Structure 1
Amino acid sequence: MGFDLTGFDCDAFVRATLEEDLGVGLPGGGQDVTADSVIPADARFSGVMDSRDAIVVAGLPIAAAFFRALDPAMEIAFLAQEGQAVPAGTHLLHLSGNARAMLTAERSALNTVQHLSGIATMTRAYVEAMGESGCILLDTRKTIPGLRHLEKYATRMGGAQNHRMGLWDAAMIKDNHVLVAGDVGEAVRRARAAGVANVICEVDRIDQIEPALTAGASHLLLDNMDVPTLREAVALVAGRVPTEASGGIDLTTIGAKAATGVTYVSVGRLTQSAPAADIGLDFTPL
């Protein structure tokens, strides 16, 4: 199972994560003192990574990269697919190789799979709560610094689509931009005049919609609107641009908001608040 994610350097991520755990560059660092002192250098283990929860799987190829970084000859079998929903007790990965390498890489591999599978699992729950509305779930930029590409990958495994990846691939005009520009229309006009093709404009009142559209907004973010107001906004936009409901949305409210006719619903908690999945790794000496 390969892992090629545009904008993400897997080798650099694995190297930096292992160096952090090993204390590379710190006095006395650069080693796993427990494994190196307790486990013979030629000892071999087999291991099984399994889920203790029902989860949506994400991150197994990265876990494999951690083990192979320390033992290039590690034998690895993937027992589940990325994006697959599996019940508790499912075996995800089988390993066979150098025991020290397995023990040293174990926590980095598990942390990554637990975090990404937790995001994918929460995302799938939100997708299912939207029912048959036809609305599309989006993530946000509320990600842990340094992990954005991985976390947004995990939301895709859960069934969401990615919102803009960063500050570079779309303009998003929010209240503070409007505060400086003077009004919504002027803020949108400035972005368009600068040659920005994709201009997302946040509006929190019905009377801001028409000025934003007239100025050239290509996407409206309907912020913190209740269900009746969202329906009114969707009717006013009348399909001229995509619409997005955002703000304070959880599993109890997303179904009703998705059913208003908006194109998208965005949820920050997918990456901001997803709990880690309960995943373990058990070893057997060979």
Structure 2
Amino acid sequence: MHMNFSEEAEDSYFFSQPHQPFFILAFISALAGMLLFMLSYKGILNLSVSPVGFHVYVFTYLMFTPAFFGFLFTTFPRFTATPPIDKSVYMRIFSFYYIGATLILLGSIVTPVFSGIGMSIVFIGHFMGTQVLRKIYKTTVMEDKHDIFWILTAMSIGVFAHFLFIIAAFFYAPLMGLSIEISVYLFLFLLTFSVAQRMVPFFSHCTVERNPYLMRSIFILLILHILLEGFYTNSSFIVDLLIGVLIAKELHRWKLPFPNPNPLLWILHIALFWVPVAFILSGLVNLVTL
């Protein structure tokens, strides 16, 4: 009776919404990855893979990406006015992430062979999850696809960066820097900002007209940043300054109420305000370093 009750509860609650298993997996992966990295850093444990590469991969593809899928599998159908994603679909993708993450974390202390197999499995899950979002994008009858287009673009670029990372980790190391640059700027940042510029003004009750050129301008500047860094380190300072000024002007136009009486919104506003400050500081540091 106890076993039946537990299985029923698990089936009805833990897997009932896509964000629940993906968020928990991201949380556990982050904790396990940090623990292994710290033990390696202290010399207690010898990782079978590059510690820096392991650290980057865990946070980018085992923490942020599952969390993104958990969020998008819940909200993307709402953004597009389409039916919710079927449980069998998101559980199949979760299974790839669960098995792959386990092999990667185990392989980091046993053999890089496990890590390679695990990365391949996670990559398949990443690709399949993005294809689910692409299918939703193609089937929606909504005329305004601006926001979901940029969300899908960032997720697709993340798949490409993921592929480059695997090639760099096992076949051609010089691609590692390019993979990290693309994943940070054109995947992690572009995706989070695409979601933020849609949701934060809405939840903050700021009825501001959308800037139709904002995302395209930021996308082009981020590509220029990556290209310049590829040619000469720290040469992207002028692009970083432009991005910082552009986003600062946009946030000023939104007129977000700050400080906000809602603590969650206050945190989101602080995070948004930090973006232009960070890009401007990055540009100044690169200039001084250069």
Task: With a CA cutoff of 8 Å and minimum separation of 6, indicate the structure with the bigger relative contact order.
Answer: 1
Q: Which has the higher Rg, Structure 1 or Structure 2?
A: 1
Larger helix share, 1 or 2: 2
Whether the TM-score (by the shorter chain) exceeds 0.5 is no
TM range (shorter): under 0.3
